[in-house]
Amino acid sequence: MIKKIDHNNMGKSKLGWLTSWFHFSFAEYYNPENMNYGALRVINDDLIQPHTGFSTHPHKDMEIITYVVWGELTHGDNMSNIRTLKRGQVQYMSAGTGVFHSEMNEGNELLRLLQIWIIPDKIGYTPNYGDYKFKWEERENKWLEVVSGQNGNAPIKIHQDMNIFVTELTNDNTLKYDCKEGRQLYLVLIEGEANINDITLSERDALEILDENIEIKTETNAHVILFDMSNKIIL
């Protein structure tokens, strides 16, 4: 089963300094029938104006991934971490028992990022931070695993049974991914256009995928992020 989520039907917020598309209920967008997809609680596609951003604020008991689409993200937290990340680079924070952090666009260009929250497998973890500056070519026309569970192989490991992959397909390419038994997938077309199992996606569209393998076909470039997780219901 595959369900398309048109980005035009997503929750949306315009605050001047920040424009956001909400895949799931968040802030002023509330939909009790769209709270999460498995352990995936939040995907916010954020556009942050230069010299603005999210000032210091708290988080607790959530696995938080930030994927920079373009621009520069500057992170700071109460664990003494200060980092600046660019296109295709990934930041991880396990909020655990509590953490304060900020995410700012200190540059002169617009910043676009995906803010991703994942429900942890239990509460009360010790807060932790990490980031990884993947090379862009590592994802060209193939899957690059950027995040895995604690027993996985990705350089970023989270407290949940979830794997996150990214790819950029160049012109006239195809790429497959098998949805294994007991798993479900959530796919976001970050940039470009693609055809997936005869479903046409444009920039920011998404798919919920259950018990079905996929094949991505593209005539132009397509930048994709894919979440592979247990199909056990997470409340």
Tokens representing 194 are 């693609």
Q: Where are the domains of the chain?
A: 2-230
CB 164 within 8 A of CB 185: no
Return the residue matching tokens 């709270």: 35
β-pair type (183-192, 194-196): unpaired
> Digits of tens for pLDDT over the chain (235 positions)?
999 999 999 999 999 999 999 999 999 899 999 999 999 999 999 999 999 998 889 899 999 999 999 999 998 888 888 889 999 999 999 999 999 988 999 999 999 999 999 999 999 999 999 999 999 999 999 999 999 999 999 999 999 999 999 999 998 899 999 999 999 999 999 999 999 999 999 999 999 999 999 999 998 899 999 999 998 866 5
Q: What is the pLDDT of residue 181?
A: 93
Element (H, E) at 92: strand 90-94
CB 192 within 8 A of CB 69: no
Its sign, for the CA torsion 35, 40, 41, 47, is negative
Q: What is the pLDDT of residue 219?
A: 84
β-pair type (199-201, 2-5): unpaired
The predicted model scores a pTM of 0.96
| Domain 2-230 in this protein, CATH class | mainly beta
